[in-house]
């Protein structure tokens, strides 16, 4: 029985060890792994386990059964834990104690609170440049309502008002459409009676010199895209509400941008400008969302803007008016220039139709109307060089050398277009500097803007953790400079440039 006595003494020694040298001396049983389920029950609910029968070989070679308590002590490496912990091994007990001490130490130095405060400080804040937010009116403080029943007072007897007579006039949910004819170009974010800054006309009248284009391969093109970045000075609130359209002016000495919002407002922004609010001027030529806008390359002082209210107008900085170009009852969605002199337009509506509009023709109606698709056209964008092509943001790239009811499909690109109710639909636009690449916003996180080749290959993703935290639904490239804009749902424009 010397062997049994030795084993019994070893078990006693283990139970008398302190936690400091416990890990080095405790023998771990291969049968008792550190299963997480041991932490899920307590001693009072423990299910009794069947004891395994073992045999010990005595010194004389005979097989004798060990006593029950010796067998349990030999085959077990667990101890009775404090109440609420169940039966845990010594290693698990030591681990739990270390966790408790570490948490107590971190709480004592307020690390958890400091971590939460750090998250609040590092969270990106929207840019405060551009239009200032209108101050909310001070609400009148009224006394709290008290129940007449609790005050043991009788309820007041109220009489219904008399029924109205005559025809009821309901207030419209949106303002009425602007009257036809030219509208004065008066900014609404400056003092009443203020004239347009003369620097705006000088900038718009700048002689745009188009340098000879350098033919880049896709590798060189991707390299130029990587050099374009955004910072705090390149983000500003240009319109008051959600941006539906935006574009660059073709001038090269400065970056001049335009944006249209949900309620028919048009904003102009010069980066680093000293007029208006941080270089922002705001106008009201429409009453419904401005779905599309573009500067005329042939007449750089003109900005054409289209609205859901059915009006297509031309902002002429030289004349300081908004002229009529095309007008229907409602439902205009998008447009683009179909000729190099910008005299002919292709205009899309909500019903899957496109109209051909010639600005040289007197009046404000179309020349012809064609049906391409019964679905709603989100946007149309004509190819910068080959004017018979245009891209539609319903995944279809069409060859429109001959306008027919069915146009051949060239490429389909899988892209998430589900923006939901509160975001502007994503719109795609060609890069004028490279004839086979276009840009489109993205719903992916972290937020980004993506550039694709017409074959469907992704060329670059524009991202910035500090200055880009929202979906940029509206995107456009500068016609000659390495610059890209993106507009979000709060009326802010982001500019990526080299």
- Claim to verify: residue 66 and residue 189 sit in the same structural domain: no
Token pair in block for residue 198 = 């003369």
How far apart are the C-alpha atoms of 394 and 214, rounded to whole Å?
32
Write out the residue range of the structural domain in which residue 61 sits.
2-113
Q: How many domains does the chain have?
A: 2
> Which whole number is the average pLDDT over 35-43?
44
In a domain, 120, yes or no: no
Provide the CA 351 distance to its chain's centre, in angstroms. 28
Q: What is the pLDDT of residues 318-328, one digit of tens each?
A: 999 999 999 98
- Claim to verify: residue 306 and residue 403 sit in the same structural domain: yes
Q: What is the pLDDT of residues 178-231, one digit of tens each?
A: 988 899 999 999 888 788 999 999 999 987 765 555 577 899 999 999 999 999
What local confidence, expressed as pLDDT, does residue 167 receive? 46
User: Cis before residue 281, ω within 30 degrees of 0?
Assistant: no
What local confidence, expressed as pLDDT, does residue 375 receive? 63
Rg (CA), the chain: 37
How far apart are the C-alpha atoms of 116 and 102, rounded to whole Å?
18
- Claim to verify: residue 401 and residue 260 sit in the same structural domain: yes
Residue 105, Cβ density class (10 Å: 0-12 exposed, 13-18 middle, ≥19 buried): exposed
What local confidence, expressed as pLDDT, does residue 13 receive? 39
pLDDT band at 402 (very low <50, low <70, confident <90, very high): low
For the entire predicted model, the pTM comes to 0.66
pLDDT band at 269 (very low <50, low <70, confident <90, very high): very high
User: Across the chain, what does the average pLDDT equal?
Assistant: 77
In a domain, 368, yes or no: yes
pLDDT band at 425 (very low <50, low <70, confident <90, very high): confident
HSE-up of residue 81 (Cα within 13 Å, Cβ side): 23
**Pick from 113, 140, 162: which residue ends a domain?**
113
In a domain, 327, yes or no: yes
pLDDT band at 244 (very low <50, low <70, confident <90, very high): very high
Is 82 a residue whose pLDDT tops 60? no
Q: Reading across the β-sheet that carries 243-248, which strands appear in turn?
A: 243-248, 256-261, 266-270, 280-283
- Claim to verify: residue 94 and residue 230 sit in the same structural domain: no
What local confidence, expressed as pLDDT, does residue 144 receive? 82
Provide the CA 20 distance to its chain's centre, in angstroms. 53
Identity of the highest mean pLDDT range in 64-68, 414-418, 434-438:
434-438
What local confidence, expressed as pLDDT, does residue 85 receive? 54
In a domain, 421, yes or no: yes
pLDDT band at 361 (very low <50, low <70, confident <90, very high): confident
What local confidence, expressed as pLDDT, does residue 209 receive? 64
**Pick from 87, 113, 139: which residue ends a domain?**
113
- Is residue 442 a contact partner of residue 172, using CB atoms and an 8 Å limit? no
What local confidence, expressed as pLDDT, does residue 393 receive? 53
Percent of the chain with pLDDT over 70: 69
**Pick from 81, 113, 145: which residue ends a domain?**
113
Is 461 a residue whose pLDDT tops 90? yes
- Claim to verify: residue 84 and residue 223 sit in the same structural domain: no
The angle subtended at Cα 285 by Cα 279 and Cα 289, nearest 5°, is 95
Q: What is the pLDDT of residues 91-149, one digit of tens each?
A: 999 999 999 999 888 888 888 777 777 776 666 777 788 887 654 455 667 788 788 88
pLDDT band at 173 (very low <50, low <70, confident <90, very high): low
The more confidently predicted of residues 13 and 130 is 130
> Which whole number is the average pLDDT over 273-284?
92
Of 57-71, 149-163, 228-242, 427-441, give the lowest mean pLDDT range. 57-71
In a domain, 144, yes or no: no
In a domain, 127, yes or no: no
- Claim to verify: residue 105 and residue 200 sit in the same structural domain: no
- Claim to verify: residue 97 and residue 209 sit in the same structural domain: no
In a domain, 394, yes or no: yes
How far apart are the C-alpha atoms of 398 and 335, rounded to whole Å?
15
Helices 111-122 and 90-108 sit at what angle, rounded to 10 degrees?
60
How far apart are the C-alpha atoms of 126 and 455, rounded to whole Å?
36
- Claim to verify: residue 198 and residue 85 sit in the same structural domain: no
* CB-based contacts of 155, cutoff 8 Å, min separation 6: 148, 149
């Amino acid at each position: 029985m010397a062997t049994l006595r030795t084993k019994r003494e070893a078990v006693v020694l283990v139970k008398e060890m302190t936690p400091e040298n416990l890990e080095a001396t405790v023998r771990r049983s291969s049968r008792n792994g550190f299963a997480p389920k041991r932490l899920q029950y307590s001693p009072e609910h423990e299910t009794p386990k069947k004891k395994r029968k073992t045999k010990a070989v005595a010194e004389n070679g005979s097989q004798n059964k060990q006593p029950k308590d010796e067998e349990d002590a030999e085959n077990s490496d667990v101890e009775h834990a404090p109440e609420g912990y169940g039966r845990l091994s010594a290693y698990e007990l030591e681990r739990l104690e270390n966790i408790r001490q570490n948490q107590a130490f971190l709480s004592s130095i307020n690390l958890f609170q400091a971590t939460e405060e750090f998250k609040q400080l590092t969270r990106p804040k929207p840019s405060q440049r551009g239009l200032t937010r209108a101050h909310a009116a001070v609400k009148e403080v009224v006394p709290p309502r008290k129940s007449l029943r609790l005050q043991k007072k009788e309820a007041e007897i109220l009489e219904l008002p008399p029924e109205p007579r005559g025809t009821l006039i309901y207030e419209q949910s949106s303002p009425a459409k602007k009257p036809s004819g030219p509208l004065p170009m008066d900014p609404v974010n400056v003092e009443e009676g203020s004239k347009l800054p003369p620097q705006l006309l000088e900038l718009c009248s700048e002689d745009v010199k188009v340098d000879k284009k350098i033919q880049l391969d896709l590798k060189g093109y991707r390299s130029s895209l990587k050099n374009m970045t955004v910072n705090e000075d390149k983000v500003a609130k240009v319109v008051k509400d959600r941006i539906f359209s935006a574009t660059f002016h073709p001038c090269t000495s400065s970056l001049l941008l335009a944006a249209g919002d949900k309620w028919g407002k048009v904003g102009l922004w010069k980066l680093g400008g000293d007029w208006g609010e941080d270089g922002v001027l705001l106008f009201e030529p429409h009453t419904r969302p401005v779905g599309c806008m573009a500067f005329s390359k042939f007449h750089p002082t003109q900005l054409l803007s289209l609205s859901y209210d059915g009006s297509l107008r031309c902002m002429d900085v030289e004349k300081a008016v908004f002229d009529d170009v095309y007008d229907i009852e409602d439902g205009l969605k998008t447009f683009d220039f179909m000729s190099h002199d910008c005299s002919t337009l292709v205009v899309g509506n909500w019903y899957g139709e496109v109209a051909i509009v010639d600005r040289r023709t007197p009046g404000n109606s179309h020349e012809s109307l064609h049906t391409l698709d019964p679905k709603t056209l989100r946007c149309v964008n004509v190819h910068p060089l080959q004017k018979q092509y245009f891209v539609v943001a319903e995944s279809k790239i069409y060859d429109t050398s001959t306008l027919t009811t069915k146009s051949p499909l060239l490429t389909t690109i899988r892209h998430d277009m589900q923006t939901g109710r509160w975001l502007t639909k994503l719109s795609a636009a060609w890069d004028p500097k490279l004839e086979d690449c276009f840009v489109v916003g993205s719903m992916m996180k972290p937020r980004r803007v993506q550039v694709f080749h017409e074959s469907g290959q992704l060329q670059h993703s524009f991202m910035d953790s500090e200055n880009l935290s929202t979906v940029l639904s509206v995107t456009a490239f500068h016609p000659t400079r390495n610059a890209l804009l993106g507009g979000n749902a709060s009326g802010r424009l982001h500019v990526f440039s080299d």
